[in-house]
Every structure is written in C-alpha cells, then in structure tokens.
C-alpha cells in the first residue's frame, strides 16, 4: 500500500520527467524506493546479474532475473558508480547480505576501486515499477505533443 508521501514523490517525479524529458538520479532513486519492499537481510544470488541500473552514487538496482530485482543502498558514495562499465557483487553460499557484502565497481581503465558496502537490500515490485516508468514515458510524450500557446 502506498503512503501519501510516496504518491506525492511519484507525482513530483512525473512532473519533472514531463518538463525536463529525463529523470535525475535522485528522482529515479525515489521512483525505485516507492516500488521497493521492506529491507531484508539478504538476497539469493547465483553469481551473475541479468542487469543493473545506477541510481546515483550510493544506490543501484540489480536484476537477478528479468522479473526479479533488488534495490541496493550503499553505506555512502561509491567511487565512479555513475561511470562504471560493469559491477560485481560479493556473496557467500549464493546469498548477498546487507552490511556484509559489497558492490565491486569496474571502470574502463581497469584501475582498482574500493568496494562499496551494501547497507540495505529491498526487493523491487518489478511489474509496478515498469508500469510507473511507462506512465512517465507517456507523460513525456503528451507534454511534447501539446501545442504551444
């Protein structure tokens, strides 16, 4: 169930998208947070990701399957996350744990990076997230189609 604050945040994100044509990292993070469940201790992980999306320098979404994703929030800014070409996750026995495991960022130059500790893991409602993203795209198209006065 969405709270009034979450709904207000989504409305703000929708308005921002319609006027600028693109969501900022902070607006995307708010959208993903609105579709994330309660924090959980860990998540299942079998060594490869289906995809990932950076949400600023201290959060990202990772897809373990096309229809299963998690919001990972980090202990602080993660160096070069916004520019990463690839990421990895540490895990133990097919589980990634909050407060214990890390996001490993790779960059094109291949230089060493400090690991970024995961502070929270929240499962995403992928279906609802995709529906909201579609609504945002529709609002963007409608804004472009409206004639200027």
- Interval 8-48: pLDDT, tens: 455 444 444 444 457 888 889 999 999 999 999 999 998 88
pTM above 0.85, yes or no: no
* Dihedral angle over CA of 10, 16, 22, 28, nearest 10: -30
Count the alpha carbons within 13 Å of 134 in the hemisphere toward its beta carbon: 6
| Listed residue (84, 55, 60) closest to 71, CA to CA | 60
With beta carbons less than 8 A apart as the criterion, state whether 42 and 121 touch. yes
Q: What is the pLDDT of residues 78-118, one digit of tens each?
A: 988 888 888 999 999 999 999 999 999 986 676 667 789 99
Q: Among all chains, which residue has been given the structure tokens 């690991």?
A: 115
């Amino acid at each position: 169930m969405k709270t009034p604050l979450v709904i207000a945040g989504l409305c703000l994100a929708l308005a921002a998208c319609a006027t600028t044509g693109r969501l900022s990292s902070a607006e995307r993070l708010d959208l993903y947070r609105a579709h994330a469940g309660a924090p959980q201790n860990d998540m299942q992980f079998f060594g490869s990701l289906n995809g990932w999306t950076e949400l600023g320098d201290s959060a990202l979404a990772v897809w373990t399957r096309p229809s299963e994703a998690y919001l990972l929030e980090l202990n602080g800014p993660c160096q070069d996350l916004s520019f990463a070409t690839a990421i990895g996750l540490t895990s133990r026995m097919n589980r990634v744990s909050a407060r214990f495991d890390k996001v490993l960022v790779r960059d094109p130059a291949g230089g060493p990076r400090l690991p970024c500790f995961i502070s929270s893991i929240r499962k995403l409602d992928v279906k609802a997230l995709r529906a909201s993203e579609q609504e945002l795209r529709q609002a963007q198209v409608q804004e472009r189609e409206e004639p200027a006065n």
